[in-house]
Structure 1
Amino acid sequence: MTDVNDRLLHARVVNDIRARIASGDLAVEKRIPSTAQLVEEYGVSISVVRRAVDTLKNEGLLQGQPGKGVYVIATPEQVAAERRSLESLASEVADLRTDLQALTKRLDSDSHARTVATEVAELRSAVEQLYARLGYAYPTSDAGTPKRRHRNTGT
């Protein structure tokens, strides 16, 4: 019963903080209340508050700054717009990969193989640059999904 209760409390805290961010009550670039303040405000345990904050960090709404606190970095609307933008970009990348595969197949039968090879190399370079701009490593096989690169290390 406690596990179900904790999940309900967690959802309530997450939804309330998310709503406060959306309304501007907790503004972008501003620090949210401390864990102790949130515990007192919501009347829940520290673990419930920490899980709620972690959930909102994973959603891209909050970011912790060691020794300083946790800050709002985006509104739910901004995160949704970015997600839609990334989905659109991913679709474009998929289209480019399809074009690249088609050009590669043409290489085998095309009498202008050198020209096509140059076009393929340029297209691949453009796709690799697009992946890099998105912070992803270019996949080495068609079966794999893009892997997120670490922001600071580029690996």
Structure 2
Amino acid sequence: MVEKSGRPAYLQIVDELSEQIRTGSLAPGTALPSIAQLCERFDVSASVVKAAISVLRTQGLVIGQQGKGVFVSQAPAAPAEPSPSGEAGQILEQLAQMRQSIKDLGDRLAVLESAVFPERN
């Protein structure tokens, strides 16, 4: 159940599910509980659960498969080669910065949505 702490409910759900993913309680490839099950577990509406899943997708922690469910993303493979230098290294650094920017934008969007649509919390 989410707490009445002032933090949006969907972000509390994101925190709990991402912690379970990080600790391995939800292993890569594991299906998340259904939206209905998550609604019951956290005592929230479906729109709140969907917002949480959207943030988890933006963070790359889960992926959805149409008609099958939402699954924990596979753990990224450890790089087998040394860090590239020169132009390739610069491109990879730019990609890492872009990924972080997209994640930050997703988090900011989630906060804006909670301000604009407070009934979803």
TM-score scaled by structure 1?
Answer: 0.46
Give the match for residue 29 of structure 1. 29
In terms of fraction of residues, the more helix-rich structure is 1
Larger Rg: 1
Q: CA deviation at 1:22?
A: 1.1
Q: How many residues align?
A: 87
Moved over 3 A (4+): 4-7
Residue deviations 1:114-137 (CA, integer Å, cap 9, x gap): xxxxxxxxxxxxx6xx96xx7xxx
Question: Measured at CA, do residues 52 and 6 of structure 1 come closer, stay the same or move farther in structure 2, by a change above 3 Å?
Answer: farther
Q: What is the identity percentage for the equivalent residue pairs of Structure 1 and Structure 2?
A: 36
Q: CA deviation at 1:58?
A: 0.5
Alpha-carbon distance in structure 2 between the residues aligned to 1:54 and 1:46? 12
- Counterpart mapping for 1:46-57 below 5 A: 46-57=46-57
Alpha-carbon distance in structure 1 between the residues aligned to 2:48 and 2:8? 10
Gaps of 5+ in 1: 83-87, 97-126, 135-145, 147-155
Give the match for residue 14 of structure 1. 14
Indicate yes or no: 2:46 matched with 1:58.
no
Q: RCO greater where, 1 or 2, for CA within 8 Å and sep 6 or more? A: 2
Gaps of 5+ in 2: 93-97, 99-121
